[in-house]
Every structure is written in C-alpha cells, then in structure tokens.
Amino acid sequence: MLSSVIAALSLAGLLWGLWAAWKRHREFPARLASHHALVSRLGAAWARVVHCDVVGSRSSDDGITHYEVALELLGWLAEPFGAGNDREGPRGERPWSVRWVLDAGVVGHLVAGSYIGLTYDRIAPANTGTLFPQRLVTLPGAVLPLHRG
C-alpha cells in the first residue's frame, strides 16, 4: 500500500515537473523576442545628477555592501546609437526619478553635478524601468563603471 502511494506521488511529481518545463520552454521565444526588441530600441545618453539620496543598503553573503540610491537625473545629450536618426532623446524636459542598487565604492562619488552615461528606451524615454546605468563621470573627471547590484 505504502509503495503504491509513493509511486503515485512520484509519478505526479514527474508529470508536474514535465508540465512546468514544457510551459517555460513554450514561453521562452516570446521573452527572447521582447528582449531583442528592447535592445534594438536602446539609445545612449548622458544624464546630469540633480539630486541623490541613499535610501537603503544591502549586504550579500560574501560581505559586499550595495546601497540603494534614489536619483533625480536630467537627460542631457543623446548620442547616435544604431541606425537612423537617433538624436531624438531625453533633452531635459523632466528629470528621471530612479532607484538603483549600486556598489558602495561608487555611491560616494554620486553627487549633484556629476554625469551618468546610460542607455534608455528611445521609444519610451520616460520609462525609468528601461534606464540602464553604464558609467559615472565624477566632478574631478574620473570615469567609474556602474554595476547594478
């Protein structure tokens, strides 16, 4: 009796696992197409830091600290990126309000007046969910890579 219950539960677990794998495999092409569509729409821009606040911190298991920062960024200059006329980008109409988790070593250099090189969605430049930080140019002129934590 007990062995038949264990066999039935094992079969049910196997069938559920196969169904979950099939569902994930079926949805993968749509997610990949969405990713490729976003990458093809990305443009490069500079944004000036208008305001910066540290609003939280996180420590990983290996002891590395990351800070969550709330930033107000003013789009400054779009650079050519890809084909076509890509110079239409953020021109400072309204600042972007973003929250990013960044390395602790970089956060100390984030002050008002510094510049961040970033990529943004040219189709929807106001969408802060598609702002990806690339480089920070500090006031003394140092260029630091930005990695989101």
Residue for token digits 């802060």? 128
Q: Are strands 115-121 and 65-79 parallel, antiparallel or unpaired?
A: unpaired
In the chain, where the domains are located:
43-145
Which tens digits make up the pLDDT trace of 114-138? 888 888 887 877 777 778 888 888 8
Do 66 and 149 contact (CB within 8 A), yes or no? yes
The 10 Å Cβ neighbour count of residue 137 is 17
What pTM did the predictor assign? 0.62
CATH code for residues 43-145: 2.40.50
Give the pLDDT confidence score for residue 129 in this predicted structure.
Answer: 78
Positions of the chain with pLDDT lower than 70, given as ranges: 76-93, 148-149
d(CA 131, CA 146): 12
Do 60 and 103 contact (CB within 8 A), yes or no? no
d(CA 78, CA 90): 7
d(CA 61, CA 101): 16
Give the pLDDT confidence score for residue 131 in this predicted structure.
Answer: 82
d(CA 50, CA 149): 22
Q: Can you name the residues that pair with 98 across neighbouring β-strands?
A: 71
Do 51 and 69 contact (CB within 8 A), yes or no? no
The DSSP call for residue 113 is T
Give the pLDDT confidence score for residue 7 in this predicted structure.
Answer: 84
